[in-house]
Structure 1
Amino acid sequence: MTSHEPLAALLASLAEPFTAESIFDRFQDVVYFIKDAECRYVAANETLMERCGVRRRSEMLGRTAEEVFPPPLGRRFTVQDRAILRSEKPLIGKLERHHYANRSVGWCLTDKYPLSARGGGAAGIVGFSRDLTHPNESGEDYRHIAEAVAFASRRLAEPVNVLQMAQVAELSRYQLDRRMKIAFGLNSGQWLLKQRIDLACRRLTSTDSAIAAIALEVGYADQSAFSRQFRRTTGMTPGEYRRSM
């Protein structure tokens, strides 16, 4: 008997398929879903439904991300899903800025895993996105990195890097990353990226500044490099984001 046979026997004996929706419905800061090989939802928790503006689960199931998310966001998720199905490789810890149909915006760390089919290939995807939380600024770990965080926050237009932050905090890069993950749920590089993209979003929606000028303000010497990173993180080009907001 293989290690999976008892589980397979249990699942086969259930009156209804087990998708874990009822468990993930309890977590308001986690989006959970399962999709089939055609990128259609076959399971979705209530948090995902709420953020997509869907009231009944039946309105979500059988549809793709492009059908439930406003454009161009849905396209981004479908392209991502198809790449995972094709490669059969997971996506782990991807930092993303999500914009939902109910107008809420949030930063998440996303994991997606291919589900292997019996005959080979991928039969679908299971995934979840965890909301980033605000740090406890009174905590001991935050105290050790507060100066480095302030140093980088004041210099987002400059090519500040993680090693400089570590020097300011008088920590090794490993120690800085460890404390940043405890405080922010992100490593130092991810935190820097988040600050720059957040600032860019504010500038795109509150000013008429050219995108090239905003790229410089957030630490990118090259507009095309800024646009590529912005799209990877938000699913939109800077121009699309400005128009949609």
Structure 2
Amino acid sequence: MTKPPSPNGQSIRESFFAHHPDVRHVLRLFDHLPGTLFYAKDTQHRYVDANQRNLRDVFGLERLDQLLGKTDLDFQPVALAEAYHAEDRRVFSSGQMVANQIWLVPHVAGAPRWYVSTKTPVVDSQQHVIGLAGVMYPIETPEEQASFFRELLPAVRHLDQHYAESVSMSELAAMSGLSSTQFNTRFRTLFRMTPSEYLLSRRIQDAQDRLIGSSQSIADVGLAVGFFDQSHFTKRFRKYTGMTPKAYRKRFRGDRS
């Protein structure tokens, strides 16, 4: 059952836009840009706006008031939410745009997708930063993937297709035509995570989908995504999402077993 609108969230939004009453009308343009995800946050990382595609595809929500006043920690795995917030703080502290960053964004239905993200500060009449506005567009075609991932493209594709298997980092480096050190440095620079962290994120995201959408046991879910020890799976899952696989399933699927 959907929770009723939060008056607090709406008041947060109204307070934010009181500094720029005309901006909200401009922002509605983003509802008519196919494929583009838009959002705005205040300096406490609380959402004050988002377009319909973002609400539907990323958050699984029907109405804006279900998002207002909440942060990424209310929707995303802890590790990903903290990474989003760290980049937000770069914008808040510098007052400068952070452009063309690559993010792997989870979707409520289907596999996560690659996006190019740009965030820009929002300032009041005295030029004080009061939040940020962000847009993301998907990296979809092979040409776009080659343009952004460059020599890492074969390794990224291999990880996306074989993350549930044993993956050799030295083989990934060889696919990219780089030494292991060069490969790790390039990967971390581009994606803000190591290849091993990316591998873990893909496994956990698959596990999340299986916990919600299948009747597999927790042990079988762990095996299916590449964890051969249930305790290790539980430990990694909890570190990434902030809850155990059992608690995650109960919260998002409503299991009482």
TM-score range, shorter chain: 0.5 to 0.7
5+ residue gaps in structure 2? 1-19, 207-257
Greater Rg, structure 1 or structure 2?
A: 1
Distance in 2 (CA, whole Å) between partners of 1:107 and 1:74 is: 16
Residue 216 (str. 1) matches residue 223 (str. 2) = no
The residue that corresponds to 1:90 in the other structure is: 97
Deviation of 1:234 after TM superposition, in Å, equals: 9.4
Aligned twin of 2:39: 33
- Supply the distance in 2 between the matched residues of 1:236 and 1:63 (Cα, whole angstroms): 30
Shift of 1:69: 2.1
The one of 173, 178, 192 equivalent to 1:232 is 192
Name the CA distance, whole Å, in 2 between partners of 1:111 and 1:196.
25
Pick from 24, 27, 32 the counterpart of residue 30 of structure 2.
24
Change (3 A) 1:112 1:230: closer
Q: Counterpart amino acid of 1:241?
A: S
Question: How many Å separate the matches in 1 of 2:103 and 2:87?
Answer: 12
Counterpart mapping for 1:1-245 below 5 A: 18-50=24-56, 51-134=58-141, 184=143, 188=147, 190-192=148-150, 195-196=153-154, 198-202=156-160, 204-222=162-180, 224-225=184-185, 228-229=188-189, 231-232=191-192, 237-244=197-204, 245=206
Q: Is the 8 A contact 1:31 1:128 kept in 2?
A: yes
Q: What's the CA shift string for 1:201-242, capped at 9, x where partnerless?
A: 235525212334434333442254255246427998134224
Using the TM superposition, name which of 118-127 and 97-106 deviates more.
Answer: 97-106
Q: Cα gap change, 1:226/1:71 in structure 2, threshold over 3 Å: closer, same or farther?
A: farther
TM-score by length of 1: 0.62
- C-alpha contact 2:97 2:118 (8 A) present in aligned 1: yes
Q: TM-score, normalised by structure 2?
A: 0.59
Distance 1:72 1:45 in 2: 24
Q: Any idea what SS the aligned residue of 2:105 has?
A: strand
How far apart, CA to CA, are the structure 1 residues paired with 2:110 and 2:78?
A: 13
Q: What displacement does 1:113 show?
A: 0.6
The DSSP-based 3-state class of the residue aligned with 1:35 is strand
Q: Partners of 1:42 and 1:226 in 2: how far apart?
A: 35
1:185 and 1:237 map into 2 onto residues whose CA distance is: 23
Does structure 1 conserve the Cα–Cα contact (< 8 Å) formed by 2:151 and 2:177? Answer: no
Q: 2: CA distance between counterparts of 1:220 and 1:108?
A: 25
- 1:65-124: CA deviations, max 9, x gaps? 222223422222111111111111101222333222334422222211111233443111
The CA distance in 2 between the partners of 1:210 and 1:55, in whole Å, is 42
The two structures, once aligned, show a CA RMSD in angstroms of 3.2
SS in 2 for 1:112: strand
The 1:25/1:222 distance shift into structure 2, 3 A limit, reads same
The equivalent of 2:250 in structure 1 is none
Q: Is the 8 A contact 2:160 2:202 kept in 1?
A: no
Which deviates more, 43-52 or 190-199? 190-199
Unmatched 5+ residue regions in structure 1?
A: 1-10, 136-183
Higher helix share: 2
